[in-house]
Copies of this chain bind each other. A is one copy, B any other.
Amino acid sequence: MATNNELFKGTLQTIILNLLADNKRMYGYEITQKVKLITAGELVLKEGALYPALHKLEAEGFLETSTEIVENRVRKYYELSQNGEKEVISKLQEAKDFIAQLQLLLNLKPAL
Contact = CB atoms under 8 A, between A and B. Distances in A.
Total identical chains: 2
Of the candidates A15, A43, A98, the one having the most CB atoms from chain B within 10 angstroms of its own CB is A98
Nearest to A34: B105
Contact of A95 (B43, B95, B106): B106
Interface residues of A, number: 33
Interface of A: 5-11, 14-15, 18-19, 22, 35, 38-39, 42-43, 92, 94-99, 101-108, 110
24 contacts: A5-B94, A5-B97, A7-B11, A7-B98, A8-B10, A8-B98, A8-B102, A10-B10, A15-B105, A15-B106, A19-B105, A35-B105, A38-B104, A38-B105, A39-B104, A43-B101, A43-B105, A92-B106, A92-B108, A95-B102, A95-B108, A96-B108, A99-B102, A99-B103
